[in-house]
Structure 1
Amino acid sequence: MSELRSSIPLTCERPTRADAARNYDLLVRAAREAFTEHGASTSLEEIARRAGVGIGTLYRRFPTRTALLEAVYVEEIQSVCDQAYDFARDLPPYDALSAWLHAIARYANSKATLATELMDAIGKESEFFKACKVNMLDAAGLLFGNAEKAGVIRPNLQAMDVLRLTGSIHDTDPDQADRMIDIIVAGLRP
């Protein structure tokens, strides 16, 4: 997990002291929940209250709303990337790729507002988003490579094309999103 965090330039780095790391984790978890429930404009005071810390603690860890958005986004992207490696280890190549694309669609569907607000704050072409993209492409490369090697997907597919298509499924009913991913995955077959 630290691999992704170290490769993405964050406004605020994860602390190493135990109490500071605990507060960091509490704040990121509370922010993720609040952003999911009420959108990315949730008040920072509400997030601090949910985390059980004072507003001063929040501002020491995350001096700006953007810093907190980045931390939540990195945690989410890390989770999606970790799933790719878990699926590659635990499932046959086609099933691993399918499961991961479904996970990306669920992520995109639930976090579209967060990503949009963060892009508005720091820009789509920022070093932060470039590093996130590299990590996603590394994870995709593993799954696409395994599936291509096993002959279960068409050769020479561009992972980025499939990721963009998959990530574009947001603001959609979860059942419909799953059906749409099933169509995409079926189209990858040779």
Structure 2
Amino acid sequence: MHIQDTHWSTASAVAPGAGAMGAAAGNGRADESRAARTTPLRVDAQRNLEHVLRAAREVFGELGYGAPMEDVARRARVGVGTVYRRFPSKDVLVRRIAEEETSRLTDQARAALGQEDEPWSALSRFLRTSVASGAGRLLPPHVLRVSVGEDRTAGGSETVDPRVPQQRTQTDAAELRLVPDEAAVLTPGAADEDGGAAALLEVVGRLVERARAAGELRPDVSVADVLLVIATAAPSLPDAAQQAAASARLLDILLEGLRSRPA
């Protein structure tokens, strides 16, 4: 299992050898990289990009976002210079992968909402699809830094570990907010990232509320808990068949823990 917070800050480093001038130019290069995403590529360049993105998903999913760019290049069977030409810093590549995985989870949640009439079936379908896809291993940490309402107890202020999703009961999806990440605020593309995370929280919140209203979900289960299930039920194992079996078994156990039981 990789809860990616430990490795995320490592991924923010500018490409090796860039120096002070490279760091100062980081914003401009990130802008150029985003613009390049909308520019048509030659067939060979497009193929290399697809290989790099596939390799990055595999490497980061197995080793966390702290894995070096050299590992990504080796898995993609391209030179590391090819990776840096498309993604001028590791941070740009990491955020591209995290953005795509967040979007994929959002699409899976919407599909479950639209294709399942029963609230519990919709929630469990979303969880099974998401875990099977391995997206949980690539969830960015700011998505897991979910807080609800005011982080206060009856006796006053409460110190909260920002790495852990906060637990609350009877949570309305509209009350969810992301715990600010000061590093992300200063990073190019952070606004788009937060927008993708907000969309994911909104649609998963609808799944949770439906299942809770139907009396099929424990009343103390929050959206943060559901996202944590996705992150923890997708272990990274060297054998694909063993990994699939372990994920399915673990998810069955976690689903039993989420479900409401008659008193």
Q: Does 1:139 align with 2:203?
A: yes
Equivalent residues of 2:73, 2:83 under 8 A apart: yes
The 3 A distance-change label for structure 1 pair 111 and 24 is: same
Give yes or no for the alignment of 1:33 onto 2:107: no
Instruction: Give the letter for the 1:187 counterpart.
Output: S
Residues 104, 65 of structure 1: CA spacing in aligned structure 2 closer, same or farther, 3 A cutoff? same
Residues 147 and 138 (structure 1 numbering): CA distance in 2 closer, same or farther, change over 3 Å? same
What is the SS of the residue equivalent to 2:66?
A: coil
- Give the structure 2 partner of residue 166 of structure 1: 229
Does the Cα contact within 8 Å between 1:83 and 1:100 map onto a contact in 2? yes
> Could you tell me how far apart the structure 1 residues matched to 2:131 and 2:49 are?
27
Does residue 98 of structure 1 match 2:124?
Answer: yes
The two structures, once aligned, show a CA RMSD in angstroms of 3.9
Q: Does the 8 Å contact 1:144/1:159 carry over to 2? A: yes
8 Å CA contact retained: 2:137, 2:231: no
Alignment of 1:13-32 (within 5 A): 13=34, 14-19=37-42, 21-32=46-57
Q: 1:142 to 1:74 in 2, by over 3 A?
A: same
CA, structure 1 residues 88+164, in 2 after alignment: closer, same or farther (shift >3 Å)?
A: closer
Alignment partners' CA distance in 1, 2:88 and 2:108: 30
More helix by share: 1
Q: Which runs of 5+ in 1 are unaligned?
A: 1-10
Distance 1:133 1:47, change over 3 A: same
CA contact (8 A) 1:77 1:132 kept: yes
CA distance in 1, matches of 2:113, 2:208: 10
Q: How far 1:145 moved relative to its partner?
A: 5.3
DSSP-derived class of the 1:18 partner? coil
In structure 1, what is the Cα distance between the partners aligned to 2:136 and 2:227?
13
- Which residue matches 1:48? 73
**TM-score computed with the length of structure 1 as normaliser:** 0.66
Aligned length: 172
Aligned identity (percent) is 26
SS in 2 for 1:63: coil
Residue 187 of structure 1 pairs with residue 263 of structure 2: no
**Structure 1: how far apart are the matches of 2:231 and 2:261?**
17
Check 1:168–1:188 CA distance in 2 against 1; reply closer, same or farther (3 A cut): farther
| Paired AA for residue 197 in structure 2 | K
Structure 1 residues 93-118: Cα deviation after superposition (integer angstroms, max 9, x where no partner): 32111222345566576347x749xx
